[in-house]
Structure formats: C-alpha cells, structure tokens
Amino acid sequence: MRRPLMTALLLLAMCPIWAQEDSVLVVQRHKNPYYQPQQLIAPAVLITMGTLGLVEKSPVDLVAQKAFKEMNPGWNTISIDDYLQYVPSGVQPFLGFIPGVESKHNFRDRVIASATAHALMAAITNTVKYTVREQRPDSEARNSFFSGHTATAFTGAELMRIEYGWGYGGAAYAVATGVAFLRVYNKRHWVGDVLAGAGVGILCANAGYWMLPVWKRWFKIKDSAPGAPSMKEGQSPVIVAAPFYDSECRGAGIACNIVF
C-alpha cells in the first residue's frame, strides 16, 4: 500500500533538471538568471517530509493518524477549499495592473511563467497520484498522495511571492496554508499529502520562471526590461471573456481570450 522509496525516486526523476546551467535542455553558455540553488531547499524539505508520511509509524505518519482521529470528529465538510485553491493563481497575472503595485515582469512573462508552472504541476501531480495509489482517508479512492489542491494553491502563492514580494506573497501563502489545512480537516488527505503538495507547488512555481529565458530563446521572444509592458506604451491587453452554460451536462464556465 505504501511505496515511499518508489515515490521518492519518482519525484526526484521528475524534478525540473533544466534549471541547471549545464542541463541538456538549456542551450549551453546561457546562464539562467532566475535559478538559484537555495530555491530547492524548501521544496526538498517538504517533499521529503511528505514522502515520510508514506512510511508506516514514521513521525509524519503518526501525526497524520493523530490528526485523522482527533481533528473534525464529526466529519463536517467545508468545501471552500475547492475554490480557494485557485485564488493565488487567478490573481497573480493581473495584480500588476493595479496602480501602485510593482511587478518584476511584464504581463506576458507573468502569464508564460504561470502557465509553465501549472502545466508542470499538473503533470507531476497526476503521474504521482496514479502511480503511488495511496488510499484517501475518507474513501477507497487511491489517489491521495499528494494533494493536488495544495499543490495548486502553493504554486500560485510562490508565483505571487516571486513576482510581488512577501507583502502580497505572504497573503497568498496564508490562503494556500488554509487550503492545506482544510484538505486534512475534511479528511480528504493525510498530513504527508499536503506537505508534499506544498513542496511540489513551490518547486513548479520556481520552474515556471526558470523556463522563461528558455522559451524566449526557443520561440525568439523579444525581451523587455523587468516591469515594462510587453506592448507599446499606452496600450493595454485585450481581454475577451464569454460565459457559457451547458444545460445538458449542467456545467458552467467562462472562456477567456487575452491578446497582449
């Protein structure tokens, strides 16, 4: 049921090695200005602790079992975490348009970094979930490790911190921490699941920025100074949003097209 060694090896194999200066995925002689080795410390610690949660009777597993038994004994459900997980990621690209809010990158680069981070996070999350097949605490479903909600929330939080600093990033991290807490409170995940999810989210957010110079070289995207608009001065991005509702499937959503 528990495969900590396989999980650790799988997560290690999926780490974004392109961040290294001599990686085969990065054209050599191009130093990546975004990559710093210390950025790997927090993700490594969190992922390691989360993986230890898969080891029966490890300290993390004992905490997880205690939380399962003593937290929320009435099995009350607070479903707001299903929506909160998207708040940091949804706000991050557009916060820089607010007067007085300084961003490190233009809107185009914020979108590229965010899209890269979330694509990588989704790929890692789904691969690990359906490889490890850890049983959820509240059901027979075997896709508990690690928490996708937590990974999504922490990806957005770290993107916010990188782009706008700890002022706004701290608020985003508070939201992400709340999501992680609710995943355990609602008995949807073990403690180790949310620890690993947080680590993967932080790692993928940094990888989104590590890949910026790579995408620009590969697709010949003209660079601009940090904080400068990617369009001509005075122009704003064209955002067209169209809501839709499918009565047959009982689903609703919004289609958004951004031209910048």
pLDDT of 21 strictly over 60: no
Chain segment 232-250, per-residue pLDDT in tens: 434 444 444 444 444 444 4
Per the model's pLDDT, the better-predicted residue between 256 and 194 turns out to be 194
How confident is the prediction for the chain on average, in pLDDT? 84
**pLDDT score recorded for residue 193:** 98
What's the CA gap between 174 and 153, in Å, rounded?
Answer: 10
- Most confident segment among 8-22, 25-39, 103-117: 103-117
pLDDT of 27 strictly over 50: no
Mean pLDDT confidence for 59-75:
96
Cβ atoms 198, 151 nearer than 8 A: yes
Range scoring the smallest mean pLDDT among 1-5, 130-134, 155-159, 185-189: 1-5
Q: Which residues of 207-221 are buried (b: 16+ CB within 10 A; e: fewer)?
A: bbbbbbbbeeeeeee
Q: CA nearest 85: which of 1, 169, 147?
A: 147
Q: Which residues contact 251 (CB under 8 A, 6 or more apart)?
A: 245
pLDDT of 55 strictly over 80: yes
Per the model's pLDDT, the better-predicted residue between 134 and 3 turns out to be 134
Mean pLDDT confidence for 30-45:
91
pLDDT of 11 strictly over 80: no
pLDDT of 25 strictly over 70: no
pLDDT band with cut points at 50, 70 and 90 for residue 7: low
pLDDT band with cut points at 50, 70 and 90 for residue 4: low
Domain boundaries, the chain: 4-259
What's the CA gap between 224 and 109, in Å, rounded?
Answer: 10
Mean pLDDT confidence for 171-194:
98
Q: CA nearest 4: which of 106, 140, 145?
A: 145
pLDDT band with cut points at 50, 70 and 90 for residue 5: low
Chain segment 132-157, per-residue pLDDT in tens: 999 999 999 999 999 999 999 999 99
**pLDDT score recorded for residue 238:** 45
Mean pLDDT confidence for 182-188:
98
